[in-house]
Amino acid sequence: MRSTKPPELSVTGLSDNIQGGVFRAVKRAIVIGNGCAGAENQCIGLIRSLGLVDRHLYYSVARPRRGINRWLQWLPISLFIRLDRFISFICAGFSIRAKMSVFSIGGLPGITDVFEVADAKQIAALARSTFAKNGPLLVVASGRDTISVASSIRRLAMEYVFVVQVQHPRSRLERFDLVITPRHDYYSLTPEGKRQIPFFLRPWVTPREPPGRNVLLTTGALHNVDASTLRVATLEWKDEFALLSKPLIVVNIGGPTRNCLYGVDLAKKLSGMLQNILWSCGSLRISFSRRTPKKVAEIITKELSSNPKVYIWDGKDPNPHLGHLALADAFIITADSISMLSEACTTGKPVYVVGAERCTWKFSDFQKTLHERGAVRPLTGKEDMLEKWSYSPLNDNAEAAKRVIQDLAARGWKIEA
């Protein structure tokens, strides 16, 4: 278990409302993450929108990923924990250091290497023991491995906590006070989705039934970007970007996924389209993600790095991502990344998508939704990047925060930031 800065606990858990009654004030939060920045940023984005980002504890359910662990990621976290404890017990019996279990491969730490698990009983006990003085505890979790921990906290301290699970937990949604998940997670229930699934497989596809009253559907993914974040990023990066010619076009390249396959062919196509639009670009800044295949990065770098208008980020800190979001005039983004598209479409600036035609299943549905909103356009290589167009920006974070506030009020609780 590990935590970030301790929450500033309130002096009292009570707060007067305008009708003269009394609300329980929610002044602190706990974030439970799975070690993946993409999932954890969704939780942080939500509590930031609620005004609690400076008063939260962070707990991790992070599996080690080296050695044999990379082959065990499919195991449920509860079984993974039992296996970890069993191997630790065996290692202790043979006087083997726990951090170098018998499953180590090539000298790399094995299953017990840096295995952190948030303790549901401990968090539930904290919520109960501090409720009278400090009020209810907001718990926000995201990622498959956090599901059992978050649901256990609610089961053990239901009257003292409000538990939000971000991303669809696959089954038994009643275990949570609120589930926040993108609308395209329910694609399997649409007529198009059903036609793509053989009848005998439908009972195994999540979700199996329409969203219930405790489910909030968003357009895209929650994220850690809002007006305040962008204002800070503008101040931090404006000097470095000041001499860049306008328009500043940012290109974010992700990596292929099971439902959005591409490779060298798309890299060559993208390189050609970028060269075709360079005449109308003042500056072009390209960033690759950790998922970008090496060959894709090499092709784009080889084709464009020699052009004086082009800058390719080398992956070293500081990461210019927030500066790009704040100061770019338009974005070009590969279709595989729901998070990057959600962030860019929050800015209200033009967003061009590459490779949407290669997406299937719910990825395709997400692209369709963005297109219908007018938030994105396909990149063709014939664009004049001086052209400006607008749309209603995505506002998922604020809508999610509003729903949390409403559900808390129904219990006689309220956020007191």
Question: 3-state SS of the chain?
Answer: CCCCCCCCCCCCCEEECCCCCEEEEECCEEEEECCCHHHHHHHHHHHHHCCCCCCEEEEECECCCCHHHHHCCCCCHHHHHHHHHHHHHHHHHCCCCCCCCCCCECCECCCCCCCECCCHHHHHHHHHHHHHHHCCEEEEEECHHHHHHHHHHHHHCCCCEEEEEECCCCCCHHHCCEEEEEHHHHHHHCHHHHHCCCHHHHHHCCCCCCCCCCEEEECCCCCCCCHHHHHHHHHHHHHHHCCCCCCEEEEEECCCECCECCCHHHHHHHHHHHHHHHHHCCEEEEEECCCCCHHHHHHHHHHHCCCCCEEECCCCCCCCHHHHHHHCCEEEEECCCHHHHHHHHHCCCCEEEECHHHECHHHHHHHHHHHHHCCEEECCCCCCCCCCCCCCCCCHHHHHHHHHHHHHHHCCEEECC
Task: Judge if 246 and 381 occupy the same domain.
Answer: yes
Whether 288 contacts 297, CB under 8 Å: yes
pLDDT score recorded for residue 66: 58
Domain CATH code at residue 31: 3.40.50
Per-block mean pLDDT, blocks of 10 residues, the chain (417 long): 40 46 82 87 95 90 62 59 60 45 30 53 94 94 91 96 95 95 92 84 78 96 94 96 97 94 95 98 96 96 97 93 98 96 97 96 95 97 95 96 97 89
Q: Kindly state whether residue 359 falls inside one of the protein's structural domains.
A: yes
Domain-located, residue 381: yes
**Whether residue 402 is found in the same domain as residue 283:** no
Q: Are residues 196 and 241 in the same domain?
A: no
pLDDT for res 346: 96
CATH number of the CATH domain containing 336: 3.40.50.2000
Residues 256 and 268 in one domain: yes
In a domain, 144, yes or no: yes
Asked whether residue 264 falls in the same domain as residue 296, the answer is yes
For the stretch 383-402, pLDDT in tens is 999 999 999 999 999 999 99
- Assess whether 78 and 153 both reside in one domain: no
**Within a domain: 155:** yes
Same domain, 279 and 367: yes
Q: What residues form DSSP beta bridges with 351?
A: 331, 376
Whether 310 is covered by a domain: the verdict is yes
Q: What is the pLDDT of residue 74?
A: 57
Residue 110 pLDDT: 32
Residue at 86 is within a domain:
yes
Which two tokens mark 353? 């998508």
Say yes or no: 161 and 190 in one domain: yes
Residues 403 and 294 in one domain: no
- How many CB atoms lie under 10 A from the CB of residue 239? 8
The pLDDT tens digits of the residues spanning 50-74 come to: 999 999 989 888 665 555 555 555 5
Indicate whether 75 and 47 sit together in one domain. Answer: no
Residue 9 lies in a domain: no
Q: Give the per-residue pLDDT at 278.
A: 98
The answer, yes or no, to whether the previous bond of 308 is cis (omega within 30 of 0) is: no
pTM: 0.84
CA distances from 401 to 91, 178, 349 (A): 46, 11, 23
Question: How many angstroms separate the most distant Cα atoms in the chain?
Answer: 70
Whether 4 is in a domain gets the answer no
How far is residue 360 from each of residues 191, 259, 296, 381, measured CA to CA in Å? 15, 5, 21, 23
Query: CB of 25 within 8 A of CB of 10?
Result: yes
The total number of structural domains that make up the chain: 3
pLDDT value at residue 98: 35
Range of the domain at 99: 66-113
Amino acid letter, 245: S
| pLDDT at residue number 202 | 73
Q: Is there a single domain that holds both residue 35 and residue 82?
A: no
301/327 same-domain check: yes
